[in-house]
Amino acid sequence: MRKRVSSAFAAGLLAVSAGSSAFAASGGMPQLDIHSFAPQLVWLAIAFLALYLVMSQLAVPAIADTLAKRQAKIQGDLDAAEKANEETKSLVAAYEKRLADAREDGRRLMREQGEADNAAAAARFTELHERLAKQIDEAEKRIAAQRDDVMAGLEHMARDIGQEVYARLAGQPADQASLATKVAEVAKGGSR
């Protein structure tokens, strides 16, 4: 880079010296006067060195420091964003795992509750079945007892009616034993 700056500086000096002879003759610009050219070059070198030293000691380090801080901030932001991204991914994975676990727990609880409800319903059904069977047995016994009572009452009534009918038709009282036997046979489904 110094070589380019030096060559550019030399080219600038040649151009100034070539152009100064044309301006000097016409009374042109004083900077291009060939007689004051050497002091101008000295002051140019002094100004250049002063500006170079100021720039190299103050401006360039400040700019380099600013660029380094900027790069560090950008890198810090990128690192923080990457860390936040990883934390977010881990949180999402943990959330999805908890959600899947909660769903599985819900299904398990529903299954267990369904089984418990089915068992309770089966127990209630069995209890109801037993109670109804007991009530049916009791009702059948009552019906059988009532039927026996009715049949006994019918036999007694049939005997009484048979005696009256026989007494009216025959004109004499009927034989109680044979009439009771006939009525009992008919009541039990036997032949007449």
**Structure-token pair, residue 162:** 């048979």
Q: Residue 33 pLDDT more than 60?
A: yes
The two counts, helices (H) then strands (E), for the chain are 4, 0
What pLDDT is attached to residue 192? 45
Burial 130-159 (b: 16+ CB within 10 A, else e): eeeeeeeeeeeeeeeeeeeeeeeeebeebb
* Range scoring the smallest mean pLDDT among 14-23, 35-44, 94-103: 14-23
Residue 9: band (very low, low, confident or very high) from pLDDT cuts 50, 70, 90: low
Give the residue carrying structure tokens 């059904």: 125
Distance CA 103, CA 11 (A): 82
Return the pLDDT at 12: 65
pLDDT tens-digit map of 56-86: 999 999 999 999 999 999 999 999 999 999 9
Question: Which pLDDT value is given to residue 161?
Answer: 80
Give pLDDT, residue 101.
95
Model pLDDT for residues 144-169, shown as the tens digit of each residue = 888 888 877 877 777 788 777 777 77
pTM (predicted TM-score): 0.39
For residue 54, what pLDDT band results from cuts at 50, 70 and 90? very high
Question: According to the 3-state scheme, what is the secondary structure of 75-114?
Answer: HHHHHHHHHHHHHHHHHHHHHHHHHHHHHHHHHHHHHHHH
